[in-house]
Structure 1
């Protein structure tokens, strides 16, 4: 029997089902929005392709959810070599009825001193687990770094090697028991510890994996949840499955996720940076214009600044600070 809120005839399960109904509607809204805006994004692509450095300036103005992960060395690549950025909702392309929250983020680069790749694309699948949680999962994407130029210091290539190992063994867990670690997994653990979260390159984001939920598990979980909701709406008393409690183990799990906030960064790109690209580009243009005005003002008032004890360098320095 479903538990009721004290003094009411309302159950927690009814509230939960209503939340899922809202989620279904929001998902359909996203699906329709993707289809309606697709031609607009194509038009924008054609326009911005004629603007040199468009995406470099957009990245320069990236919101904090993205910017905080971009190291100075990452900026050197992104602000000089990035030629295009795009987001596609690949599961609903061509009228397919997949989940519109699944996204592919494609980065295109010019020739640069750091890696051979001209295109780096990372896919994120929106998956549902049997315990009721949901979110983005992905697969590591390797980068062909040039000699001595690996900004991740080997972190990404090790994450990809561990992924390949897991696929060969039929396992997808990012958390491992220390006693079961392979040589490659031990090497990855040591590399994660040596770099630390604060010093990891943005390009390690390409190694993000997320919760280990397969496509089949997700489809089963969604269908079972729909069945339970349908039966409850028909008057049946159907409880949701209880969350499985993990068996206690004295040995702590080793987490081999190299970019724990990968899903949040992906959503910030897909939901903010990508749709707001023109806004961020305009901001960059406005800041550059303000910098020019400040510079000219400082030049014209050079004598008064000198009288105030400021050096020539301080008087001539623009207020705008570039990341690169």
Structure 2
């Protein structure tokens, strides 16, 4: 049985995510516009007062009477400044998350598990917004409001002040868009959770990848130390030329040194090398041309075409009498000035 793992691919394909993005984009723009227009207090207090005039809810002056009579008072959640600012913040945050997650999804760095976490947080924020927008107002015992505010449950034509009809429709649209956004994010979350569970084909690919990985490390051998008794891992030895006594790999540097080792114009190379030590690198039958290239080489021919013995000298004369004897150094005399 295959082990459980979280899939990194979306199911059933990539198009459901693009469809949800196409719906979320205009919805987020609408929320950002509606909440931005309503901030900080364009029509909240006006709708509150109009509802009090109709007897639907408490009055904005209820708090003043409570304070004057030394009674505790808390502004109802639906009419508080907090929910107005909170809606603006979550609208801006939703726009930012939508742009980021769309780019990450195109770049294949937005796995379902990350999507589930992100959309769970957004769902929690929008749930708080809906709970505040649809909360009740029971601060006035004479005019209690048990349930959502009047502009959500009633038609905007019931307003006392007819100039507030447009504001009533904006508040109604804000609440409707918030509920729609919560539904879209809920679909995101369900799709992400469903995609976290791998399909049958994904399980087969996972098993094949695990099998190839096991074959890759099959060459490792477990050996135990006879002294400590602990097990250790012996890694396979790479088949590299020149490793552990094999032939040296042929590189440009090796080829250059081997070529210089067989020339005639480097007499000091064999003289200063370690005695009785043979090189392990292979030798090649590469030799310099027989034509002398330096006045220090034997057989040098001058410009006149004649061999001048006075300008010829050996750099070093190797004449050891025994295998361990020191060589006799010979320094050639300076060349004489030629006479015309």
**Same fold by TM-score greater than 0.5:** no
Q: Which has the higher strand share?
A: 1
TM norm structure 1:
0.23
Q: Which structure would you say has the larger Rg?
A: 2
TM norm structure 2:
0.22
